[in-house]
Chains A and B, each alone.
Chain A
């Protein structure tokens, strides 16, 4: 059976002056349709690089990445843009809404770039806002909404384009714990409705909400399995305390 996401022997190597940094050091990872996966790791573990590559925002130095059966690892800027538009929905820590556009216009953006005509755009964006319970806020500016509401708008925007994968990058990082839990519940619900969700976080307590955990350290996968397995949340050499403090 074909996997939705298939990373094979992925390397991402940066040249920092005279030093060579292996942000990703030979990653093999497959994610199937309908999974809820958390990619966990401290800063510097390579999880952001992994997220950029899975999100088609970056290309690997070597290795292949198939998304929905298509090799996207060698695509140029515009081809990647099209893949992002058609297959991926992003949820960011900072919501990343455009402040000058209304809530509805923000949600319409992926459809705008997909070339959907204005009437259908409006309709689909409204449906998407309904799913997150903010249909009545369409005319508001993002700044008139609370943090939790803004994050829900960004979820609606991610859903508007009916993507194959929802990529959530620290989606609760800027929220208080109660609204954070709400957002996570919502992602869980989306997953139950059939969406594939990939969550990127440094926080074990958030990662365990996913069904499967992929733990990264120094650019390598050190654990990949069920989130209920005790080994999934083991802190190898106390990395969290040390590196987060040093970051």
Chain B
């Protein structure tokens, strides 16, 4: 009924004493600003994870196997069969073998180079990325035929090409543990990272079958599967899990014989951890909101005392307790709502500043994905709602004090 007037009175008293209004709202401004910054950064990081997932493929499933007891482990061919039999959910599988060996080119020795045995599934021609996030610069990736025929071919990183071949490696040879390999492809240099021995640019991909031959081992401990899409990843995971349980003759071998995780799960895990970290930070920022609320309560108590006579006049004209109470609650709510709006603006600006400051660095570390520190609409709405809520909550006590004033005493107050 008198919302309009209470609102206008609140605006009026805010504009007539700007310094006091600003100081009153400062706690809310800082609190809401901090919450917005945290949520913006969190949103930016979540966005980066999402971009990373999109790049690598949401349909990727990792399966880690351990040899238990008699040392039996699945043969890679059995897993190929599994994929073929379940083509409605699975599209491919690649063993992922780490070969510890020394790479040589002529007289040069590269003993920090990482050598991985994989299949053609490792590289996704659709997104043009490997499952580890590398792109091809020239040549081609390992093919199905390379794996089948245990070809002596490899794809090398940019560092190796630079150091060993002076920037022109295609078709040339290098050797690993005495086996000579032909370079068929070169990976793109990894963004801003320094090219160092042992870095992501100092690595070799080769057919896993060739690696098995070199080391003389039959067992593969790590597989990377791809499902038909992100939606079928869970179903695919269940298929693999069921098969592995059968293989190991167990009911639930997860964590004991093997561990399977989908890309979506990994992203969720990262997001979950970030969510916890953000929750803690927001909780700390919320303390500032609490302090801001107490500031509002304090100034409202002063305001009630200052306007005792006005309250008396209103009561003498027929204002009931709830009329007076709602007037002061609306005033407190308006004050903190304006504080909230200023806080949101301040927070967005600060987040943009941090984006400009940190964006380049983060983007370089995450392989070129973009960092956008923008708050979601939900975060803005929530912050605004919370700031209004705080004003109403902390305004209630002073408002109630005003409502309970005795009209005679209030009228006589000077």
Interface residues of A (CB under 8 A from B): 52, 55, 57-58, 77-78, 81-82, 84-86, 90, 92, 96-98, 100-101, 105, 109-110, 112-115, 118, 157, 161
Interchain CB contact under 8 A, B13 and A84: no
From B1, B9, B316, contact of A112 by CB (8 A): B1
- Min Cβ gap A95→B in Å is 10
Residues of B within 8 A of A161 (CB): 317-318
Report whether A105 and B5 are in contact in the complex, using a CB–CB cutoff of 8 Å.
yes
11 A-B residue pairings within 8 Å (CB atoms): A52-B408, A57-B316, A58-B408, A81-B318, A90-B316, A97-B313, A100-B12, A101-B9, A109-B314, A113-B314, A113-B319
Interface residues of B in 303-339 (CB under 8 A from A): 309-310, 312-323
Let me know if B379 is at the binding interface, CB within 8 A: no
Interface members, chain B 395-414 (any A CB < 8 Å): 407-408, 411
B321 touches A55 (CB 8 A): no
A44 to chain B, nearest CB (A): 15
The answer to whether A85 touches B5 (Cβ under 8 A) is no
Please tell me if the beta carbons of B309 and A77 are within 8 angstroms of each other in the complex: no
Tell me which of B12, B318, B407 contacts A114 (CB under 8 A): B318
Q: Are A92 and B411 in contact (CB under 8 A)?
A: yes
Contact A113 B317 (CB under 8 A): yes
- Cβ contact within 8 Å between B9 and A109: no
Contacts known (A105-B5, A115-B1); A57 close to B318, Cβ less than 8 A: no
Q: Which residue of B lies closest to A100 (CB)?
A: B12
**Residues on the B chain within 8 Å of A52, using CB:** 408
Contact yes or no, B317 A90, CB < 8 A: yes
Closest to A109 in B: B317
Apart from A82-B320, A157-B317, list 5 A-B contacts with CB within 8 A.
A82-B318, A85-B317, A85-B318, A86-B318, A113-B2
Bound-complex Cα distance A112 to B411 (A):
19
Greatest chain B CB density within 10 A among A86, A92, A101, A113 is at A113
B322 proximity list for chain A (CB < 8 A):
78
Say yes or no: A98-B310 contact (C-beta < 8 A), given A81-B320, A82-B318, A110-B317.
Answer: yes
Scan B353-373; emit 1 where CB is below 8 A from any A CB, else 0.
Answer: 000000000000000000000
How far does the alpha carbon of A109 sit from the alpha carbon of B309 in the complex, in Å? 15
Per-residue interface assignment for chain B, residues 168 to 185, with 1 indicating a CB less than 8 Å from any chain A CB and 0 otherwise: 000000000000000000
Q: Once bound together, how far apart are the Cα atoms of A58 and B315, in whole Å?
A: 12
The main secondary structure of chain B at its interface with chain A is helix
- Shortest Cβ distance from residue B395 to the other chain A in the assembled complex, whole angstroms: 18
Residues of A within 8 A of B320 (CB): 77-78, 81-82, 113
Other-chain residue from B12, B309, B318, B319 in contact with A96 (beta carbon distance below 8 A)? B309
> In the bound complex, what is the Cα–Cα distance between A82 and B317 (angstroms)?
9
CA distance A183 to B375 in the complex (A): 63
A84 touching B316 by the CB < 8 A rule?
Answer: yes
Nearest opposing residue in chain A for B9, CB measure: A100
- Could you tell me if B316 and A78 are in contact, using CB atoms closer than 8 angstroms? no
B 1-18 to A, binary, CB cutoff 8 A, 1 in contact else 0: 110110001001100000
Decide if B317 touches A100 in the complex (CB within 8 Å).
Answer: no
Our pick among A85, A96, A105, A118 for the contact of B411 (Cβ within 8 Å) is A96
- How close is A97's CB to chain B, nearest CB, in angstroms? 8
Within 8 A of A (CB), among B215-264: none
- Which residue among A52, A57, A118, A161 has the maximum number of chain B CB atoms within 10 Å of its CB? A57
**Cα–Cα distance between A97 and B316 once the two chains are bound (Å):** 12
Query: By the criterion CB–CB under 8 Å, are A98 and B12 in contact?
Result: no
Distance of A77 Cα from B315 Cα, bound (Å)? 10
Give the contacting residue for A113; candidates B309, B312, B318; CB below 8 A.
Answer: B318
Cα of A55 to Cα of B1 in the assembled complex, Å: 25
Contact check, B13 vs A100: say whether CB atoms are below 8 A apart.
yes
Could you tell me if A112 and B2 are in contact, using CB atoms closer than 8 angstroms?
A: yes
Decide if A55 touches B12 in the complex (CB within 8 Å).
no
In the assembly, what is the distance between CA of A110 and CA of B408, in Å?
17
CA distance A98 to B12 in the complex (A): 13
List of A residues within 8 angstroms of B312 by Cβ: 96
Q: Smallest CB–CB gap between A109 and chain B, Å?
A: 5
B residues near A114, Cβ cutoff 8 Å: 318
Q: Which residue of the partner chain B has the closest CB to A84?
A: B318
A81: B residues at CB distance < 8 A: 315, 318-321
Residue of B nearest to A85 (CB): B318
Q: How far is the CB of B316 from chain A (nearest CB, A)?
A: 5
* Nearest A-chain residue to B314, judged by Cβ: A109
CA distance A110 to B309 in the complex (A): 16
What CA separation (Å) do A113 and B13 show in the bound complex? 21
A52 vs B407: C-alpha distance in the bound complex, in angstroms?
10
Tell me whether B313 and A96 are in contact (CB under 8 A): yes
Chain B residues with Cβ below 8 Å from A82 are 318, 320
A114 and B314 CA atoms in complex are apart in Å by 12
Which residues of A sit under 8 angstroms from B12, Cβ to Cβ?
100
* Residues from chain B with Cβ under 8 Å of A84 in the complex: 315-318
A50 shortest CB reach to chain B, Å: 13
Question: Which B residues are in CB contact (< 8 Å) with A98?
Answer: 310, 313-314
Q: How far is the CA of A154 from the CA of B323 in the complex (A)?
A: 21
The docked-state distance in angstroms from the alpha carbon of A157 to that of B316 is 12
Q: Shortest 10 CB-CB distances between A and B: which pairs?
A: A85-B318, A113-B318, A78-B320, A110-B317, A81-B320, A96-B313, A84-B318, A57-B407, A109-B317, A113-B319
- When C-beta atoms are compared, the residue in chain A nearest to B414 turns out to be A94
Counting chain B CB atoms within 10 Å of each CB, the highest count among A55, A85, A115 belongs to A85
- Bound-complex Cα distance A82 to B312 (A): 15
Given the complex of chains A and B, what is the CA–CA distance between A55 and B315 in angstroms?
12
A-chain residues with CB within 8 Å of residue B317 when the two chains form the complex: 84-85, 90, 109-110, 113, 157, 161
